[in-house]
Structure 1
Amino acid sequence: MPGADLQLLLAAAQKAGEVAQRYARNGAQAWEKPDHSGPVTEADLAVNALLFDMLGSARPNYGWLSEETEDDQKRLGAEHCFVIDPIDGTRSFIAGEKTWAHSLAITTGSDVTAAVIALPMLGLTYYAEQGSGAFLNQQAINVSDCRQIDDATVLAAKPALEARHWRIPLPAGLQRRHKPSLAYRMALVAQGEFDAMITLRDTWDWDICAGALIAAEAGA
């Protein structure tokens, strides 16, 4: 049975999905962030507010780090911290696609100890807690058994595989696919649907914390 922190994240992801799907059905206003780091929507902010209230009231001593909240440095003094991306794949959300995710994690010191990646429009919930394996909809998952890059299928944006980024040519047999959400890409690798994922773009803790634990617990 999942531990208390993981159960909390699972419940929060369920509520987040309900809120986000209402916006997905009815439409959400979108605008560019002031720092030009990407788009944000009403749904991002509504989900962020829900999670801040729900998780913060359940664990008032935990720190908080979210893409949609101004960073509070007090989190650095907390033993545990929530690391949240309310909607990972906002461009996909705006486009009316289904491949966006809620990415929720808890850290203890430098370790990620509980994580959930939920894609409510696809009915997928990936989750893990440290030392207990990784799961998709209550079924254990594992990474693929591919060990040779020559035969690998990787998730990456097309520019990431351009020759200018690599000292040696990539294998001709390497196959590339792409999904909009970074969290979803990491979860798909954990599931064994793809052999690896590559990103050369800047990433932040909220982009990768949940996916890193799920992939590690799946054998990555």
Structure 2
Amino acid sequence: MRAPTSAASCPRFWSRGSRLPGSDLPLLVEAAQEAGEIARRFHQGAPAVWEKEDAQGPVTEADLAVDAHLKDRLLTARPDYGWLSEESVARTDRTATSAQFIVDPIDGTRAFLEGGRDWSHSIAVARGGQITAAVVYLPLRSATYTAVLGEGAWLNDARLGTSDQTEIERAQVLANAPTMDQRHWHRGAPGFERHFRSSLAYRMCLVALGRFDAMLTLRPTWEWDVAAGSLIVTEAGGTVTDQAGHPLRFNNPIPQHDGVVAAGGAMHRALMDRLARDR
């Protein structure tokens, strides 16, 4: 895997001075790479960890340090943008702003705590409910996934494209074990080969890369988990919806979706045909 391309040297980034959608991308990439340096200092170093309320999983001092850095870095550069992050209080006016940062400081905290590599920094900008710029950065894999609305999706300097798999029984799918419960499917759970990664954002990037044919989660899904990944998949030629087939809209008052299904177009249709939406 090639080393990440810097925002300053990458020819596909738009002018920093412009406020066109793509002009946010250099800022997002630089902020994500800075976040990676902060997270590396805590990785495998037994950071302090707490359990969130309502069984929402662990949060570490690394998550909080990265979140604080990103909030300061991004809102200093774009003080008129709204703020929505997993680890800090959202700006009270975010639904009234014309653009919003949607951030997961460390997506895949459990993998981070276990000393693994499959955690990421996920940062997106939304405008009018649509993601317009996105980065998912995996520091320990030297992998920078990026997308700008209408400009394609990239892993470092390589253009991305989803797979063209059409047969659901032959598919390689990223999903957690409860997804295979029979109640979720018409005619029983498909026979696809199931795989797992801790970070939802990384799962979506692997679909955009074509390494896997689909990812799905049938649990209520927070916007910060999938905002950046959703644009990366669609700009790679894929389709992303909730489990009822509705397109994802972002910066909702309650920032949550009814599950997420992401795949190449033909595979997405095959999955939607098998999902039980009347349970």
Give unpaired runs (5+ residues) of structure 2.
Answer: 1-11, 15-22, 239-279
CA separation of 1:35 and 1:171: change in aligned 2, threshold 3 A: closer
Match 1:157 to one of 173, 176, 184? 176
Amino acid of the structure 2 residue aligned with 1:218: A
Does the residue aligned with 2:187 lie in a helix, a strand or coil? coil
Amino acid at match of 1:161: M
Q: What is aligned with 1:166?
A: 185
Matched-pair contact (CA < 8 Å) for 2:163–2:213: yes
Question: In structure 1, how many angstroms separate the alpha carbons of the residues matched to 2:117 and 2:71?
Answer: 24
1:15 aligns with 2:34: yes
Aligned-residue offset at 1:187: 0.4
Is the aligned partner of 1:63 residue 2:82? Answer: yes
Superposed, 1:34-183 pairs within 5 Å as: 34-172=53-191, 174-183=192-201
SS in structure 2 at match of 1:70: coil
Q: Is the 8 A contact 2:103 2:123 kept in 1?
A: yes
1:195 aligns with 2:206: no
Q: Tell me which amino acid in the other structure corresponds to 1:219.
A: G
What's the secondary structure of 1:202's corresponding residue? strand
Instruction: Give the TM-score taking structure 2 as reference length.
Output: 0.76
Greater displacement, 194-203 / 31-40: 31-40
Gaps of 5+ in 1: none
Q: Does 1:213 align with 2:231?
A: yes
- RMSD (Å) for aligned C-alpha atoms: 1.1
* 1:61-106 deviation per Cα after TM superposition (whole angstroms, max 9, x unaligned): 0110000111233011110000000000011111111110100000
Which residue of 1 is the match for residue 13 of structure 2? 2
Distance in 1 (CA, whole Å) between partners of 2:175 and 2:169 is 16
Partner of 1:51, secondary structure, is helix
Contact kept, 8 Å, 2:181 with 2:189, in 1: the verdict is no
Which residue identity does 1:22 align to in structure 2? R
CA distance in structure 2 between the aligned counterparts of 1:36 and 1:156, rounded to whole angstroms: 20
Percent identity of paired positions between Structure 1 and Structure 2? 51
The residue type paired with residue 155 of structure 2 is L
User: Could you list the per-position Cα deviations for residues 132-191 of structure 1 after superposition, in whole angstroms to 9, with x for gaps in the alignment?
Assistant: 00000111010001122122110011221122321212343x111111110000000000
Tell me the CA shift for residue 35 of structure 1.
Answer: 3.7
Q: How many equivalent pairs are there?
A: 219
* Amino acid paired to 2:13: P
